C-alpha cells in the first residue's frame, strides 16, 4: 500500500510517500514559507532534490503542488493519485482524548479542535492539513497519529502536578509528554534489536534533538516522560529552557519589564544551550566546534545537557526499579558520540560501559555498550514518518 505521510506546521509542511510493503520512501520533501511566498522541495528516491519557488498563499496550494509533483511525468513517484491508498497525519496534541492513533472522521476532528487550547500553534495547522486533504483527496482513508498518545499510559503519580487539583479537573493541566511517536517506535525497535520481550522489559529512550525528551517504558508502556503540559518542560534543549524554578518567571518579568508572553518567548526561543552560550548557536555541532576551540560557555552548555540527560536516566531507572536497555535517538542522540560518552560517564553505578569504537559509528541500529556492560546502550535511529505509515496501515487495512 502507498501511504502519504503529512506533517503540517503553521507555515511549513513535510511529506513522505512510503510503500508500506517494502517500507521504502518513494518520494519526500517539504513546503516552506506557506502564506508568505512559497517553496517546494521534492525528492524522488534515487534522484536529486528539486526546488520550486511558487506562490503558496495557503496549505491548499502547498498540498496541490505536492500532489502534482508526485504524479509529474518526469520525476513523479506514482502514475495516478489513485495509487495513494491512505494518508497519515501527525497531530501534536491529542489531550486525554486519544490514547492511540485513530481513523479521521468528523467526530475525531471535533475532539482535536477541543484540544487546540493545549497546542495553539500546532493543532490548528495539523487540522488544516486534514481538511485540505479531505478536499483534494476525497474518499481516501486518513489516520491521525498523535505525539501525546504513547504517553497516555502514564499513571497519575507521574502526570499530576503539585498544583490545586481543580486545575486538572477544570483545565486538564497535567503532564502529557511529546515525541510519543518516536518514543513508541524506538522502544519497540530497541526491544526487537536486542531480542528482548518488550512485555517484560525496562527501557529508557533518550530522544535528543533540537527538542529533547526522555521516557521510561516499562513492559512496552510509557510510565514517565520529561516533557509536560507543553514541550517546554524537562531537559535543557536547543532554545528551550527545560525545567526551571517557576518563580524565575515573575523575577525575570519584573527585572526585564516583560509581560507573560515576553517571558514565555524567552523560555521557548532564547534559552537552552542557545541562551547559555549568549546566542552562539542552538546546534550541537557548532557548540562542539566552539568548545574544541576553548569557548567556556559552549563547554558549560554541553556539560549541562549531558548532566541533565544522565539525571533523567537515573530518575527513570529508579521509577522502574531497574533498566535493561537505553536507546539514544534523534539528531544529537544518533550523531553525537561525545554527548553519549559524557552521559555514560555518570552511569558507572548502573554497570554501564561504552565501547568507544562502536560509539563512533552511525546510521543504523547499533549496540554501543561493551559485552560486559550490565545495561545495553544502543543507538536506534528514529523514523517518525515510518511509524506514522505503520500506524496508518494497521488502522486502514
Regarding 49 and contact with ligand AMP (CB under 6 A), the answer is no
Closest CB 281 distance from ligand AMP, rounded Å: 8
The DSSP annotation for 315-377 comes to: HHHHHTTS-SEEEEEHHHHHH-HHHHHHHHHTTGGGT--B-HHHHT--SS-EE-B-TT-SSEE
Asked if 46 contacts 167 with a C-beta cutoff of 8 angstroms, the reply is: no
Among candidate residues 311, 214, 231, the one with its CA nearest the CA of residue 272: 231
Regarding 268 and contact with ligand AMP (CB under 6 A), the answer is no
- Cell numbers 502564506 correspond to what residue? 35
Number of Cβ atoms within 10 Å of the Cβ of 105? 12
Q: Which of 146, 159, 284, 305 binds ligand AMP (CB under 6 A)?
A: 284
Q: Which is nearer to ligand AMP, 29 or 336 (CB)?
A: 336
CA–CA gap between residue 349 and residue 210 (Å, rounded): 29
Secondary structure class of 85 (helix, strand, coil): strand
CA–CA gap between residue 15 and residue 31 (Å, rounded): 8
Q: Which is nearer to ligand AMP, 284 or 312 (CB)?
A: 284
Regarding 396 and contact with ligand AMP (CB under 6 A), the answer is no
Closest CB 282 distance from ligand AMP, rounded Å: 6
Regarding 368 and contact with ligand AMP (CB under 6 A), the answer is no
What mask of x and - would describe binding to ligand AMP in positions 170 to 209, judged by CB under 6 A?
---------------------------------------x
CA–CA gap between residue 234 and residue 214 (Å, rounded): 8
Determine the interface stretch with ligand AMP among 1-9, 228-236, 247-255, 281-289 (rule: CB under 6 A): 281-289
User: Given 19, 37, 48, 147, which residue is catalytic?
Assistant: 147
Regarding 9 and contact with ligand AMP (CB under 6 A), the answer is no
# residues contacting ligand AMP (CB under 6 A)? 11
Regarding 238 and contact with ligand AMP (CB under 6 A), the answer is yes
Q: What angle do CA 179, 182, 185 make, to 5 degrees?
A: 150
Hey, what's the cell of 363?
Answer: 546510521
Q: Which of 52, 64, 210, 341 binds ligand AMP (CB under 6 A)?
A: 210
Determine the interface stretch with ligand AMP among 53-61, 121-129, 217-225, 331-339 (rule: CB under 6 A): 331-339
Query: Distances in Å between the alpha carbon of 268 and those of 99, 156, 174, 208, 309?
Result: 27, 27, 19, 16, 19
> To 10 degrees, the CA torsion angle through 190, 193, 197, 198?
20
Q: Which of 336, 344, 366, 393 binds ligand AMP (CB under 6 A)?
A: 336
CA–CA gap between residue 31 and residue 21 (Å, rounded): 26
Respond yes or no: is residue 147 known to be catalytic: yes
Determine the interface stretch with ligand AMP among 31-39, 111-119, 328-336, 349-357 (rule: CB under 6 A): 328-336
Regarding 330 and contact with ligand AMP (CB under 6 A), the answer is yes
Q: Which residues are part of the catalytic machinery?
A: 147
Residues that bind ligand AMP (CB under 6 A): 209-210, 238, 283-285, 330-332, 335-336
Amino acid at each position: 500500500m502507498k501511504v502519504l505521510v503529512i506533517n503540517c506546521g503553521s507555515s511549513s509542511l513535510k511529506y513522505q510517500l512510503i510503500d508500506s510493503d517494502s517500507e521504502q520512501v518513494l518520494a519526500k520533501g517539504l513546503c516552506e514559507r506557506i502564506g508568505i511566498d512559497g517553496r517546494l522541495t521534492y525528492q524522488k528516491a534515487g534522484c536529486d532534490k528539486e526546488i520550486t519557488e511558487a506562490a503558496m498563499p495557503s496549505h491548499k496550494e502547498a498540498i496541490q503542488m505536492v500532489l502534482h509533483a508526485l504524479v509529474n511525468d518526469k520525476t513523479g513517484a506514482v502514475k495516478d493519485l489513485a495509487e495513494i491508498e491512505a494518508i497519515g497525519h501527525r497531530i501534536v496534541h491529542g489531550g486525554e482524548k486519544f490514547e492511540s492513533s485513530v481513523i479521521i472522521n468528523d467526530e475525531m476532528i471535533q475532539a482535536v479542535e477541543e484540544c487546540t487550547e493545549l497546542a495553539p500553534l500546532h493543532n490548528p495547522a495539523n487540522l488544516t492539513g486534514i481538511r485540505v486533504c479531505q478536499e483534494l483527496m476525497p474518499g481516501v482513508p486518513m489516520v491521525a497519529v498523535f505525539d501525546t498518545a504513547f504517553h497516555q499510559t502514564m499513571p497519575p503519580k507521574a502526570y499530576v502536578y503539585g498544583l490545586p487539583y481543580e486545575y486538572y479537573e477544570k483545565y486538564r493541566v497535567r503532564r502529557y509528554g511529546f515525541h510519543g511517536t518516536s518514543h513508541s517506535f524506538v522502544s519497540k525497535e530497541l526491544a526487537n534489536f536486542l531480542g528482548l520481550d518488550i512485555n517484560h522489559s525496562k527501557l529508557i529512550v533518550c530522544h535528543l534533538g533540537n527538542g529533547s525528551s526522555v521516557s521510561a517504558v516499562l513492559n512496552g508502556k510509557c510510565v514517565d516522560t520529561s516533557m509536560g503540559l507543553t514541550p517546554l518542560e524537562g531537559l535543557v534543549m536547543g532554545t528551550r529552557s527545560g525545567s526551571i524554578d517557576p518563580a524565575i518567571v515573575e523575577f525575570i518579568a519584573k527585572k526585564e519589564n516583560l509581560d507573560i508572553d515576553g517571558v514565555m518567548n524567552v523560555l521557548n526561543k532564547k534559552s537552552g544551550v542557545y541562551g547559555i552560550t549568549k546566542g552562539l548557536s542552538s546546534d550541537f555541532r557548532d557548540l562542539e566546534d566552539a568548545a574544541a576551540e576553548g569557548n567556556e560557555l559552549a563547554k558549560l552548555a554541553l556539560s549541562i545537557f549531558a548532566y541533565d540527560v544522565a539525571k533523567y536516566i537515573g530518575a527513570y531507572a529508579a521509577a522502574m526499579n531497574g533498566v535493561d536497555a537505553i536507546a539514544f535517538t534523534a539528531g544529537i542522540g544518533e550523531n553525537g558520540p561525545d554527548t553519549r560518552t559524557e552521559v555514560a560517564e555518570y552511569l558507572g553505578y548502573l554497570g554501564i560501559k561504552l565501547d568507544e569504537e562502536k560509539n563512533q559509528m552511525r546510521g543504523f541500529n547499533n549496540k554501543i555498550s561493551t559485552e560486559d556492560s550490565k545495561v545495553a546502550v544502543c543507538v536506534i535511529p528514529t523514523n517518525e514518518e515510518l511509524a506514522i505509515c505503520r500506524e496508518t496501515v494497521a488502522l486502514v487495512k
